Amino acid sequence: MTEPLLQVKHLSKFFTVEKNLLGQTTSVLKAVDDLSFEIFPGEALGLVGESGCGKTTVGKMLVNLYRPTAGEIWYEGKDLAQMSARERRSQCRNIQLIFQDPYGSLNPRMTVGDIISEPIRINHLLAANKVDDRVGYLLNAVGLSATYRNRFAHEFSGGQRQRVSIARALAMEPKLIVCDEPVSALDVSIQAQVLNLLSELSDEFGLTYLFIAHGLNVVKHISDRVGVMYLGRLVELAPKRELYNNPLHPYTKALLSAIPVTNPAYRRERILLEGDVSSPIDPPPGCRFASRCYARTGCIGCACETEMPELVELSPGHFVSCYLYPEVR
């Protein structure tokens, strides 16, 4: 059986919100709470959830921008937390991040050639006389002309800038790329082009993706498996087909109902969520979705409000965290 490229075990990230006069923490924001998943080589795992659910925080922990509060991140069988700073820096080369905002993530004072070649030069990945050829190759690989290397970021459209960001991530020759909502800032017509490009690059460069998005429609075309997050917790995880054809968690069903249908003859019933979103600051002890859950009448007397449901595998590869299913405790 193939070993996972990345394993995340019980990962948590809490931010201190308030301290008392003695400097003791009195209030914490639980951005990510006890998250576990695996990503296999060559796979694209989609991570979906609304703004503030902690998906970006997960991505930032994977690329060492945030230090986890608890839990482990294993890459190719090694625990990143146990590595020396030097080992971890060199390992981080293998995991790159593409940011959501192609306008803010590129240095406006550098040419595109310098932006792409900077990580190659700093990490001594190539001899100096080969760097220019590599920059041209990477620009071509992302669908841009090599002659653009002397231009600045402001001379490009949003889609072209995101292509430059992808070329910069590829410059480090990573195995895993964390794509943090890479198309949400782009026009709809450009989104499909960038998604297709990422798919093609996966085959060409042998890449593995963690693809973060806030809607299930975006990850549908690029993901092999999809995880759904709600307020810092993973509530459902399944192979793509299984999740779209047989969603189990009430929140996943609501997200699916929000995807527009292109066939006017087909009508899908929209599930509108009511109620307030629970606060991630000192959240309630039970299911995080309880305050908005329209399906709770099916589980009267259950522990929805007092105990957190575990993430349980109900069928091969299909995990869910909801008391509607008797296997979940």
CB of 234 to ligand SF4, least distance (A): 13
Which residue, 3 or 305, has its beta carbon nearer to ligand SF4? 305
- Is residue 95 helix, strand or coil? strand
Name every residue whose Cβ is closer than 8 Å to that of residue 173 and which is 6 or more positions away in sequence: 93, 125
CB of 314 to ligand SF4, least distance (A): 13
Query: How many angstroms separate the Cα of 207 from the Cα of each of 168, 175, 238, 271?
Result: 14, 5, 21, 36
Query: How many angstroms separate the Cα of 54 from the Cα of each of 50, 229, 240, 265, 314?
Result: 9, 8, 21, 37, 25
- Nearest in space to 7 (alpha carbons), one of 76, 70, 64: 76
Which residue, 66 or 325, has its beta carbon nearer to ligand SF4? 325
Write out the residues near ligand SF4 by the rule CB under 6 A. Answer: 250, 287, 289-290, 293, 295-296, 299, 304, 309, 322-324
Which residue, 163 or 288, has its beta carbon nearer to ligand SF4? 288
Which residue, 75 or 323, has its beta carbon nearer to ligand SF4? 323
CB of 318 to ligand SF4, least distance (A): 15
CB of 228 to ligand SF4, least distance (A): 11
Which residue, 152 or 294, has its beta carbon nearer to ligand SF4? 294
- Is residue 26 helix, strand or coil? strand
CB of 237 to ligand SF4, least distance (A): 15
Q: Is 88 exposed, middle or buried (0-12, 13-18, 19+ CB in 10 A)?
A: middle
Classify 181 in phi/psi space as left (phi over 0), alpha (psi -120 to 50) or beta: left
